Amino acid sequence: MCKSFQIKIIGKVQGVWFRKYTNDKAKELGLFGFVKNQADGSVYVEAESDSETVLQQFIDWLHTGSPLSKVERVNAVGQDCQYFDKFEIR
C-alpha cells in the first residue's frame, strides 16, 4: 500500500549538494517522487513508497542530509499518493 509524504527541510540546505545527495539516497532506497529548491531557501521533497519503514529511514536521513548541509528542521506531512514513476531533481 502506497505511503506518501510532503517534506520541507529548513536550514543551510541550498548550495551544499543537498538535492544531489537526497536524489541518490532516494534512489538507493527505491523511493519515487522529487526534490527541489524553494525560493525561501528551504528544500521541498515529495517521496513515496510501499514501505513506511523505508520512508521513515529516508526522513531520518534528511535530518543529516549532505556532508556540508546544516539541517535545522524537517517537517513531514502525509498526503495521498501521487504515483510517481521515478525520483528526480526538479
Residues annotated as catalytic are 19, 37
Strands 87-89 and 32-37: parallel
Q: Computed over its alpha carbons, how large is the radius of gyration of the chain?
A: 12
The backbone region for 62, taken as left when phi is positive above 0, alpha when psi lies in -120 to 50, beta otherwise, is alpha
